[in-house]
Amino acid sequence: MIPIEHKRSGTTFQVNAFWLRDHCRCSSCYNLETKQRKYNLLDIPSTMRPISTEYNHNELQLEVEWSDGHKSVYDIDHLNHAQVENVVTRIQQSTTRTLWNQATITANEIDLRTTLAELVSSDEAAHKIMQSLIRYGIAFVDGVPANTTMTEMTVRRLFPPMRTFFGEMYTFTDSPDHADTAYTKQYLGFHTDNTYFCNAAGLQILHCIRHVNGVGGENFFADGFYAANELKQSNPRAYEILTRVPVPAEYIEEGQYHKYSAPIIRVDPVSSELVQVRLNIYDRAMFDTIPQTEMEDFYTSLREYLKIVQRLDNEWKFKLHPGTVIFFDNWRVYHGRCAYTGERTMTGCYVERVDFLSKARVMGIIG
C-alpha cells in the first residue's frame, strides 16, 4: 500500500500500488480525447513498485517513478475522491431521490409537470422532466396532441425510443395483437414491464389518445423503492431473501420466446442502494431456481412486500386523458390499470436505461 497525504483535508489515505499505476493518466496510458485507457493490463509488470514519490504544485499533485522506469503524475484531490471507502458516502450524498407514498407524491405533483410548448422551446423544461424522473420516477408532459406522431415527437425531445418486438412506438387497444394482458380490458395489477428481458426498459411512456363510450381504465402507480425500503426496516430477512432469490419470467407468442431470471429487488453491490425492482405476476415462469424447502420463506417474504406495495396509502390513482403523456421509471415505479369498458387506445414506447441515465449525467443531475 502507498500512503498519500491529502493536504486540503489534513488526512492520509492508503492506495494499492497496482491500482495507482492502473490509474495513470499520462498520454502513454490514457487517451484524453476518447477518455479510454490505451494499454493491456498485463503490460504492467506484476513486480512493479514505486521507487520514488514527490509532491508538486503546492502539494496538489503526486509524481511517482515506478520500478519499470514509467513516471506518473496524479491529481491528489481526484485520487482522494475515488477511494473505495468513500464510494458509499459519495453516492449517498449525491443522490437526488425522494421516496414517496400517495401523500408525498400528490403534495409535489406540480414539480412533475411541464407542457409540450415549454419542452419544445426550453432546455429548462427538459431539465425539469429529468429531475422529476430521477427524484420521483414520474414526469408528465401536458398539451400533447392525441396521436402517436406527436407523442413520439415529445419523447424524442429527450430520448430515442427503444426498439422491441412491440416496435419503437406502439399503439394498443383491447385487440389481442400480442399475448399480453395489457391488450385486454381486464384489470392489470401492479407490475414492471419486461421482466423477461435481460435488460428491462429503463423508462416507459404512455399516452391515452382515446377513450369513448365507456368508463374505467384508471391508472395507478406505487414507488417500489419506498415499499422496498419499508420492508427492509420492518422485515430485514424478507428483504434479504427478495434481493437474493432469482425469479424466472418468460414471454411466449408466435415468433417470440423471452426468458430471464433475476431477484425482485436489486441493490448496488458497493453502496447497497436500491437499483431496480422487478415484479410481474403475469410473466412469471416455472419457479425452479431454489429448492422446495426454501419456497415457504420466499413466498412469505414476497407476500409481506406485496402487502406494502398494495397498501392504499402507497397507491397514486388517476385517469390518463388525451393530451397528457406520462414518463415513468420502469426500474422503480410499479404501474397498473383498472378494468374498463368502451373503446380505449393507448400509445407509447420504452426508453433504454442507458439512454436515460446518460441524459441525466449530461445534464449534471447525477454523477
Q: 284 is written with which cell numbers? A: 412469471
Length of the chain, please? 367
Q: What is the pLDDT of residue 179?
A: 67
Confidence of residue 2 (pLDDT cuts 50, 70, 90): confident
Q: Which of 8-17, 60-69, 194-203 has the highest mean pLDDT?
A: 194-203
Q: Quick one: pLDDT band at residue 201, thresholds 50, 70, 90?
A: very high
Across 99-125, average pLDDT: 97
Residue ranges of domains in the chain, CATH in brackets: 2-82 (3.30.2020.30), 102-362 (3.60.130.10)
- DSSP characters over 92-126: HHH-------HHHHHHTGGGGEEEHHHHHH-HHHH
Of the candidates 216, 201, 279, the one whose C-alpha atom is nearest the C-alpha of residue 245 is 279
CB–CB of 326/333 below 8 Å?
A: no
Question: What is the pairing mode between strands 203-212 and 343-351?
Answer: antiparallel
SS3 content of the chain, % helix, strand, coil (to 5): 30, 30, 40
**Mean pLDDT, range 254-272, rounded to an integer:** 94
Kindly report the pTM of this predicted structure. Answer: 0.85
Provide the pLDDT confidence category of residue 47 given band limits of 50, 70 and 90.
confident
Q: What's the mean pLDDT in 324-349? A: 96
Give the N- to C-terminal CA distance of the chain in Å, as an integer: 28
Q: Name the nearest CA neighbour of 120 among 97, 98, 139, 143.
A: 143
Is the pLDDT at 155 greater than 70? The verdict is yes
The Cα 199–Cα 46 span in angstroms is: 37
pLDDT at 78: 81
Burial of 367 (0-12, 13-18, 19+ CB in 10 A): exposed
